[in-house]
Amino acid sequence: MSDTRENIVDKAEELIRTKGYNAFSYGDIAGVLHIRNAAIHYYFPSKADLGVSVVDREIDKIASSREEWGDLPGNVQLRKVVERFYGSHRRGWICLNGSLTPDFLTLPDPLQKRVKEMCEVILDWMTESLEKGRKDGTLAFAGEAESRALLVISSLLSSLLLSRVLGKEVFTRMLDQLLKDIECAPDR
Amino acid sequence: MSDTRENIVDKAEELIRTKGYNAFSYGDIAGVLHIRNAAIHYYFPSKADLGVSVVDREIDKIASSREEWGDLPGNVQLRKVVERFYGSHRRGWICLNGSLTPDFLTLPDPLQKRVKEMCEVILDWMTESLEKGRKDGTLAFAGEAESRALLVISSLLSSLLLSRVLGKEVFTRMLDQLLKDIECAPDR
DNA sequence: TTGTTTACTTACTAGTAAGTAAGTAGTTTT
DNA sequence: AAAACTACTTACTTACTAGTAAGTAAACAA
């Protein structure tokens, strides 16, 4: 993949995660990369193509992390995910899910499909990690793992959204409480 | 308030909660109300003014519900809120919070201010309801009420977002689990 | 050396956005 | 009866938006 192509996807991801899909334009990307709008159309004929590339890359990233961390205990897997959200929070970025699901109905069909796929992959992964944690004794929670996974994903997604509006300390409060709720041997 | 004015705010709220603030235009509203774009500018000189009106009305609605339900037990207050989310879910609408916080950085200043205010009001109300529920013995949860309120708000907000993408059964799953987690005497 | 592909730029189109200025029909006030 | 106000419409401007067509300089391939 050429540098320019990758830089475009990088910038598109940043813009989606700060301003939202409907609020950024090819001009925003062209401006900072010092290229022309048409150069972006050369790599990504339509804005939908660019959006799809951003989401596809995220799906790939999730798949590699899942593989890389597969052997770790359930609670450590969860903490790794939480760590990644800390990274996003530090940069002031929300997650792709938190940015794209509110705009879902306005997204072009192929992009909707990828967003759905991404959601399913995340849910499946989180469900597996929680199940593993319950089995290996590092996590404890009531109910089905998938329902719990949905609630955990909620908290992660919303912690980035709400902390942007209510102040950054909200982020830590939420994720601290989340881990206390579900971890078996909380460090003190 | 004139009919036209109220109809415009109604439609704007619907559009914000289905397509998002940056994805709707005065034309969308004018089309269904059979008026001209300029008629909307007559009542709301700028799009920001219209957005502010939508959020202000929501803040007022929250204040009246809070007053109306103030004497109910904590768990009933919570269930009233959950019921309202069921209503939104049935119509396919997300909540104003879930729609406006992702776009927060793109919103004009006065609208950002109102969104923040709305978030604070919701958090304060939910915190109070949870505290009351813990005192009156209808709710049980670990940690501070405000942290718990943040997580409950998360789940409500995200249940609308995620069910839109993953399928409507996700909504019930999430809210059922949420209530089981926190209610003292779950009905069976 | 010629032809082709890559990675763009320049210059453009067509559509849509918010917003404004001036006009008007009907109602209310003086 | 005249003046003023209300609730709009018509007609317009300015500023983007995504997207396209044609051209070009440099690298590469036959």
Average pLDDT (A5-26) is 98
- DSSP reduced 3-state for B183: strand
**Contact indicator for B83, B65 with CB cutoff of 8 Å:** no
Alpha helices in chain A (DSSP H): 3-18, 26-33, 37-43, 47-69, 74-91, 96-100, 109-136, 145-166, 169-182
* Chain segment A73-89, per-residue pLDDT in tens: 999 999 999 999 999 99
Question: What integer pLDDT is reported at residue B2 of this predicted model?
Answer: 79
- Centroid of chain to Cα A186: 25
* Chain segment B5-48, per-residue pLDDT in tens: 999 999 999 999 999 999 999 999 999 999 999 999 999 999 99
Strand partners, A183: A139
- DSSP reduced 3-state for B123: helix
Strand partners, B139: B183
User: Which of A77, A165, A122 is closest to B98 using CA atoms?
Assistant: A165
CA distance B13 to A155: 25
Average pLDDT (A179-187) is 83
CA distance B13 to B50: 9
**Contact indicator for B20, B95 with CB cutoff of 8 Å:** no
Amino acid identity, position B19: K
Interface test with B, best of A47, A96, A121, A162 (most B CBs within 10 A): A162
Supply the DSSP string of A62-114, one letter for each residue: HHHHHHHHTTS-HHHHHHHHHHHHHHHHHHT---HHHHHTTTGGGS-HHHHHH
Is the shortest CB-to-strand distance from B38 to strand C under 7 Å?
A: yes
User: Which of B168, B1, B188, B3 is closest to B93 using CA atoms?
Assistant: B168
Instruction: Determine the distance in angstroms separating the CA of A126 from the nearest CA of chain B, rounded to an integer.
Output: 14
User: Which of A168, A79, A163, A162 is closest to A126 using CA atoms?
Assistant: A79
Averaged confidence pLDDT in chain A: 96
Nearest to B20 among A103, A154, A180 (CB): A103
Which residue is closest to D11 in terms of CA–C1' distance? B38
Nearest to B158 among A146, A158, A177 (CB): A158
Q: Residue B1: pLDDT above 90?
A: no
- Strand D interface, protein residues by Cβ within 7 Å: A 24-28, 37-38, 41, 45-48; B 2, 4-5, 35-39, 42
**Which DSSP letter does residue B72 get?**
S
Alpha helices in chain B (DSSP H): 3-18, 26-33, 37-43, 47-69, 74-91, 96-100, 109-136, 145-166, 169-182
**Which DSSP letter does residue B141 get?**
-
* Chain segment B77-130, per-residue pLDDT in tens: 999 999 999 999 999 999 999 999 999 999 999 999 999 999 999 999 999 999
Q: Residue B188: pLDDT above 80?
A: no
> Which nucleotide, over all strands, has the C1' atom closest to the CA of A44?
D19
Q: Which domains does chain A have, with CATH numbers?
A: 52-182 (1.10.357.10)
- DSSP reduced 3-state for A184: coil
Reading the block at residue A7, the tokens are 């830089």
Question: What integer pLDDT is reported at residue B162 of this predicted model?
Answer: 98
Reading the block at residue A153, the tokens are 């994903």
Q: Residue A67: pLDDT above 50?
A: yes
Average pLDDT (A10-23) is 98
CA distance A125 to B74: 35
Is the shortest CB-to-strand distance from B45 to strand C under 7 Å?
A: yes
Instruction: Determine the distance in angstroms separating the CA of B165 from the nearest CA of chain A, rounded to an integer.
Output: 6
* Chain segment B59-73, per-residue pLDDT in tens: 999 999 999 999 999
Q: Residue A51: pLDDT above 50?
A: yes
Percent of chain A with pLDDT over 70: 98
Amino acid identity, position B101: T
Amino acid identity, position A5: R
Question: What integer pLDDT is reported at residue A2 of this predicted model?
Answer: 78
Contacts of B153 in chain A (CB under 8 A): 158, 162
Residues ≥6 apart with Cβ < 8 Å to A50: A8, A9, A12, A40, A44
CA distance B4 to B103: 27
